[in-house]
Structure 1
Amino acid sequence: MTPTSAPAPTGEQYALRLDGPNGPVEAVVTEVAAALRQLTVDGHDLTQPYPESATPPFGDGIVLVPWPNRVRDGRWTLDGEAQQLDITEVAKNNAIHGLLRYGAYRLVDRTDSSVTLGAAVVPQHGYPFHLWTTVAYELVPDGVRVTHAVTNLGSAAAPYAVGTHPFLRVGEHSVESLTITARTAEHVMVDARLNPEGLEPVAGTRFDLTSPTLIEGLEFDDAWRVEPDDDGLIRTTVAAPDGASTTLWQQGDWEWLQVFITRIFPTPDGLTTAIAVEPMTAPADALNSGLGLRWIEPGASWSGSWGITRQA
């Protein structure tokens, strides 16, 4: 039997709503890649939305598991044996953004203001491990809290890291007019294929984002080790000239941040500038460097959270 209409390329859409003190908080989460497709507070965009009929432009809002960013040549070593992941970034000959970028998650739990989706990572080329992962989106009065969890279903310790790929907005303000502020400590130096070559201090360099830095003119597809505030949370804020701002926070064990700026993000009105602010538990090539990498023992679990909030 032929379907009467094509399904959305991102699968089932889960619309969430919470009536907050500053107006309704609304979000849309997708079945494929457990992506955050839209997030608003009182009608103001906190993230860059995209149509239901589109795949996520530049990975907008998707979950990156069991590693974020790149693995150089898709190669790493496990107990002395070479492992070869499928090459998914062909132009740079890397394996990028994990194994569930195009995977369908299934519904685990649902309320009017929250949804939990789950998916299995099964043994495959270069990653001979079996994991169960979940992503829980919970609306809060000023935005969203996102909690990732993983359980090792296999018989050997499994290497694991996670990240996400949201593009931030401050309502209708153009991204070029915003400033970005983050407690950047060390910058990840990269080669021509964007693979790590070491860390460097940021003080006094163009990679120092500890003071508000105008996005207009910035060229970033870069990662940093970032530091927490006194309360243990790491915060990155994009702010508009009128004082309105959007903040992405991450728990202290998410101590890595990627910032990617593109000026060809497609919208119904044409191309625009967009800025991805990506929380990560590990930087690129963690399967080789070990930086930020967790080894989940058989039967063991881990969880961690990040979120996005609006300040008017």
Structure 2
Amino acid sequence: MTDEQNQMPSTGDQSISNRLYTADVGQDLALHTTTISLSSTDQSNSSRNTLVCIAPEFGSNMYRFRVGEHDLMYTDQVLLKNKNYTGNFVLWPFPNRVRDKRYTYQGQMYSLEDVQRPGNDAALVHGLVFDRPWQYTQPVIGPDAVSVTTYVDVNNESPYYTGYPFDSRLSLTYTLSGTELTVTYEVHNKSSRALPFGFALHPYFSTFADKHDVFISIPAQAVMEADDEMLPTGRIFDINKVMYAMYDLREPTPVAYLKLDHVYTRLNKPALSILDYKKLAMQLHVSATDDFTHVVIFTPEQVPYICIEYQTCSTDAINLHHQSPALREAAHLLEVQPGATYSGALHYTIVFTT
């Protein structure tokens, strides 16, 4: 952290038209950590105010996305303080799972055996940075948006470096404009060799009291078969076929009817998913740049949330990548050449239906 950053908390504001933009960096007494808040205030309709909160030291977890009085991000504060699975956490460089905690890249085998995760630990789950402390820059407040950048470095002092020895920096820029949040990721390869990666965010979107009143639609034409460890077999099911029609979410479907933990692919363009809160007269639109080729839908029972995880690759892409041309295409592993950068973006947009 720089001396300038240590002078927090800081606040600022700027307005244009009917919106007032502010930013705050300070200490959250309940979480016992530094948090960053970005807000977009509608000066004529408080039900359209938007607030985003990020905890850099907790893996750059975006633990709050509030619109009016409704917090669309489900966050368990105990889990958040333990850097566990809640809020909206970062999956990088391996979204989802890695079979047997090992992989081969460019002829060399790497082991991730030292990485420990809660629950079933047979496969590496959810990458290497969601439980690491991140750094951040000063928020930037403009006439029509407010933004902040967080980042984490991988080098020979990083945990698990032997399992992923690719010197690099992952940066996330959160930009709030009106009721739209854009999260732009950038991977900078600081090493002397190609760097393999996949990127995703893992949001727990609130469904509130009744999942029957929340509808989801996903523009995907296929779903990947998974084995008992939730790892891809390599088979892809075309949901246009009658035998796989139960996975079809192209038309709005009540979340209450779903029991899924599946990787969707072959996304239509534009790849716009919609979570429709009927009682709230509000929709959450999720979209992304074309590098996001897969969407994981997770609908656990008896909990008030749904996960819509846009990924730039499949589960276990790092292992599927070298098995065959067909699996290489299905995996969509991304690579960055030495000294180069790669970037993409996710968009969370609130649309009011009345």
TM-score, structure 1 as length reference: 0.87
In structure 1, how many angstroms separate the alpha carbons of the residues matched to 2:210 and 2:170?
35
1:99 to partner: Cα distance: 0.9
Q: Hey, what does 1:178 align to over in structure 2?
A: 214
1:118 aligns with 2:130: no
Q: CA RMSD in A?
A: 2.4
User: Equivalent of 1:142, from 168, 179, 182?
Assistant: 179
1:104 aligns with 2:133: yes
User: Equivalent of 1:236, from 270, 273, 285?
Assistant: 273
1:93 to partner: Cα distance: 0.6
1:26 aligns with 2:45: no
1:152 aligns with 2:178: no
1:285-304 equivalent positions in 2, closer than 5 A: 285-290=316-321, 291-304=331-344
- Are the equivalent residues in 2 in contact too, given 1:70–1:95 (CA < 8 A)? yes
In structure 2, how many angstroms separate the alpha carbons of the residues matched to 1:98 and 1:120?
14
SS of match in other structure, 1:109 = coil
SS of match in other structure, 2:271 = strand
The one-letter code matched in structure 1 to 2:133 is: A
Describe the superposition over 1:201-238 as per-residue Cα deviations: whole angstroms up to 9, x where unpaired: 11242111111111113111111114243xxx411111
In structure 2, how many angstroms separate the alpha carbons of the residues matched to 1:56 and 1:237?
28
- Are the equivalent residues in 2 in contact too, given 1:173–1:240 (CA < 8 A)? no
- The 3 A distance-change label for structure 1 pair 284 and 74 is same
Decide which moves more: 25-34 or 45-54: 45-54
Q: Hey, what does 2:88 align to over in structure 1?
A: 61
In structure 1, how many angstroms separate the alpha carbons of the residues matched to 2:276 and 2:164?
40
5+ residue gaps, structure 2: 1-26, 322-330
1:200 to partner: Cα distance: 1.3
Bigger radius of gyration: 2
- The 3 A distance-change label for structure 1 pair 7 and 25 is closer
- The 3 A distance-change label for structure 1 pair 164 and 308 is same
The one-letter code matched in structure 2 to 1:193 is: E
Q: Hey, what does 2:200 align to over in structure 1?
A: 163
In structure 1, how many angstroms separate the alpha carbons of the residues matched to 2:28 and 2:342?
37
In structure 1, how many angstroms separate the alpha carbons of the residues matched to 2:173 and 2:252?
31
Decide which structure has greater helix share: 2
In structure 1, how many angstroms separate the alpha carbons of the residues matched to 2:191 and 2:334?
15
- Are the equivalent residues in 2 in contact too, given 1:226–1:234 (CA < 8 A)? no
Aligned residues: 297
Describe the superposition over 1:64-87 as per-residue Cα deviations: whole angstroms up to 9, x where unpaired: 111210010011112323211134
In structure 2, how many angstroms separate the alpha carbons of the residues matched to 1:95 and 1:150?
21
Decide which moves more: 173-182 or 132-141: 173-182
